[in-house]
A and B are shown apart, each in its own frame.
Chain A
């Protein structure tokens, strides 16, 4: 059944889609924002350490539905397996209004200048698809600033000499610090590093009509009880709705992007909350479903003129799937480091993002969010048994006396790390599911081990009496930082979207989310996703001439 035609339909109400909706609606376009998940609020906060987006052993707290949304994961030995959203190899982000921003840790990093020019800086290692972005940090800077001010960022990056030029400081001061900060900061300074307060999409003072963070221990993975975490669900999306130009429809699973006889996008077909098939026509279609689902949707949008899926003439949709290779170290101390002051992560160094001899890229290193007791269970140094009296003793003795430092090593993209649609397995609605396969480039692994060394050295400098590394496997990477599957580029033969996020062979189809990232920085990617959404939608609005752009 056809619905009233609109100017723009956006698939996915996360970081990218939420911002895009706010900008188009503010400019007067009629917008329909489709989200397959629900709209939770702060009142739905459930501080459940076994059922959340970070620790999902008993399920997720913000989607997707466990029974309706399987995927297929192929491991490095070629073994394939149907996986559910709560399993690690599913690479889940979230499915709800706000997407990942509803439950994230909210680190608000700008990528550095070199992160946009990785190939120019390091050359292209064999076996990789490493490439430069078609846009620079300087081009994106005003939009980073806009994201920081519109959504709200606290922190203080003035002591970080490595960030790119910026016009304004962050809009909010950092939160009061915890004991880990007091231990780690002087140690970093003594070691010649440049520690500073992590920028966070989290209120430290009243901002945007919402209160400041109350520094509880349930942060990353959880909804914020006092609405102090700034996600699109409590910023951009309410703003979009307030214009009167945007309609949000939840529980809507998009089947495909529809095209006309000439191959041009005309809207989307989706299953509504009652699982009825609907067709929403629009002048502009924006896919913002995160790297795995955006690629899946394009690949599932097959037609006579697009037999391999939309935007996939040269086979690039779904390739270069990347997240971050998290490595780091644990340290234990002969005094209490735990003071129950959340969110935990508050101090970082960017000394190792670039300029590591012989390595490509690197990572920002920061202390970890507060570890709930169950999360400490697996943090064992070599030699401590996994069960029995000794394990219990270890927990009792060191839980309150430990610090973890880790960092998201920037991954070197490879073509074979990819999202496809599975030929056999279908989801609840009968749509072919995403099939994830591939691994990591050896240079990524090399850098990630070096980052663990640096983290360990920082802990030693801080007086840890024992330290041990936390290393990463070389399987498929994606998860909450998933990116890269619809990469941005000037050459249609080697990329999916142009520098304004428009799919190359389409004049009205856009991908606005982490999928367009050519590389994913050594940082949490969300602020870049938001900045790109501001940047891309500004261009759409400027070029808007009414129906039929």
Chain B
């Protein structure tokens, strides 16, 4: 378990470098941690995410899926938008960590207060209704999630979202940059 805690610490500090390696290591450690259950010394529940808790990840996935729902093409949840946001929360979005922690908790609390269930357990209509009723700080938080969801869904897959370039395929944008399409070789003298 000591190794597990160290692994998590390194992951937090060094998220950009050696990311995939650390992540694989962490998943393995997280798996062990789950098996060991109550032995986890830090007392945190195991989570597949870098920043989010498992419950937060579930709530966020439901919100993102409302922002870009699945229709004839997969929506935000399948595209890995939660993975994208979680990754950025340890990097460029890190100043928004507190906003996510608070915002997701408040949305879940609102769902429980209104329907007696957490947000992810509501049906789609209840979820939309709840989102539309958000006000003040919660509404501002939702605007942030909209922006981040759009980035994760329509942005470059290298950042952990837009799985399989799903949005680019949907829009009909060639996925692989076509090099050499234009007369790239230098014209001959006098040609």
Please report A residues at the B interface, Cβ cutoff 8 Å. 47-50, 57-59, 86, 176, 205-206, 211-218, 226, 338, 340, 373-374, 376-377, 386-389, 391-393, 395-396, 399-400
Contact = CB atoms under 8 A, between A and B. Distances in A.
A373 B68 contact: no
Contact of B180 (A59, A205, A212, A214): A214
B81 interface: no
A214 B184 CA distance: 6
Nearest to B131: A387
Given A387-B68, A395-B170, 17 more contacts: A50-B151, A50-B155, A58-B88, A58-B91, A176-B182, A206-B187, A212-B186, A216-B178, A216-B179, A340-B173, A373-B168, A373-B171, A392-B69, A395-B154, A396-B73, A396-B170, A399-B172
Given A58-B159, A374-B151, A396-B171, A388 B67 contact: yes
B71 to A, nearest CB: 6
Nearest to A206: B186
Contacts of B110: none
A126 B90 CA distance: 50
Interface string B140-162: 00000011011100111011000
Contact of B186 (A47, A211, A213): A211
Contacts of B172: 338, 399-400
Interface string B164-178: 000110111110011
B32 interface: no
B92 interface: yes
B181 interface: yes
**Highest count of chain B CB atoms <10 Å: which of A206, A211, A340, A400:** A340
Nearest to B170: A396
Given A176-B182, A214-B184, A215-B181, A340 B155 contact: no
Nearest to A66: B92
Contacts of A340: 173-174, 178
Contact of B69 (A176, A388, A400): A388
B126 interface: no
Contacts of A212: 182-184, 186
A212 B177 CA distance: 17
A57 B92 contact: yes
A341 to B, nearest CB: 8
B66 interface: yes
A118 B186 CA distance: 44
Contacts of A49: 155-156
A396 B154 CA distance: 11
B154 A373 contact: yes
27 contacts: A47-B177, A50-B151, A58-B151, A59-B92, A86-B92, A211-B186, A212-B182, A212-B184, A213-B182, A214-B181, A226-B184, A340-B173, A373-B154, A373-B167, A373-B168, A376-B154, A377-B154, A386-B146, A387-B149, A388-B66, A388-B67, A391-B67, A395-B170, A395-B171, A396-B73, A396-B171, A400-B173
A176 B182 CA distance: 9
A374 B150 contact: yes
B128 interface: yes
Question: Interface SS of chain A: helix, strand, loop or mixed?
Answer: loop
B170 to A, nearest CB: 6
Contacts of A50: 151, 155-156, 159
Nearest to B148: A57
Contacts of B159: 50, 58
B150 A377 contact: yes
A176 B183 CA distance: 10
Contacts of A377: 150, 154
Contacts of A386: 146
Given A340-B173, A373-B171, A387 B156 contact: no
B76 to A, nearest CB: 9
A58 B159 CA distance: 9
Nearest to A393: B71
A59 B171 CA distance: 25
B168 A58 contact: no
A205 B91 CA distance: 41
Nearest to A228: B184
**Highest count of chain B CB atoms <10 Å: which of A205, A373, A387:** A387
Contacts of A58: 88, 91-92, 151, 159
A373 B151 contact: no
**Highest count of chain B CB atoms <10 Å: which of A212, A217, A374, A391:** A374
Contacts of A205: 187
A399 B171 contact: yes
Nearest to A397: B171
Contacts of A391: 67-68
Contacts of B181: 214-215
